Copies of this chain bind each other. A is one copy, B any other.
């Protein structure tokens, strides 16, 4: 028989999902994250669904401060370019935000997609499915981290090629996510960009449709 989860257990998951946050640099504290704990997170990631059971993920656990510094440099450059895409008050608000915690987080995790050299079941019509499998792994890890009261921040303001260089990644590997991981003193009650008025929460009526877009 399959395991049946109780209402309480389902509610626990709902709470973890609701209280998960993207954590920036100013929130990590000094409590060490053990290799065993990182293994627990990676085990959750490796149990994600993957197209054709291809498990096309690769994880690089980074504790080396030289690598962190190299990645942080690419953030600085990419962030200056990103800022230029906003104008007026919005750019001022952008520039005031702390958008990464690369150096502050005790552990960084670079997550790659490694394409298969042969056909993958389920990926023949939608080639991006391999990358999407890797994203499912990241979301598993993120929720697992929150359940262990560990913060995760996903940094996407980076030049993926420079990150690959810093990690000696093979040409074929594609960077999907770069995560900053560490214990935090507090998880914000709401997403920071919502609290600060950057973006409002969409209502269900805006994004849910029945039997088509009509």
Contact = CB atoms under 8 A, between A and B. Distances in A.
A157 B159 CA distance: 32
Q: How many copies does the complex hold?
A: 2
A125 B156 contact: yes
Contact of A86 (B39, B46, B119): B119
Interface string A41-63: 01110111101111101111111
28 contacts: A2-B19, A4-B149, A5-B16, A5-B147, A9-B147, A10-B147, A14-B144, A17-B44, A17-B143, A20-B49, A22-B49, A48-B139, A51-B156, A54-B199, A55-B207, A58-B208, A59-B208, A60-B213, A61-B208, A67-B211, A67-B212, A81-B124, A81-B125, A121-B198, A129-B156, A135-B135, A136-B142, A173-B213
Chain B CB within 10 Å, residue with most, of A78, A135, A210: A135
A123 interface: yes
B124 A157 contact: yes
Contacts of A147: 5, 9-10, 13-14
A92 interface: no
> On chain A, which size bracket covers the interface?
35 or more
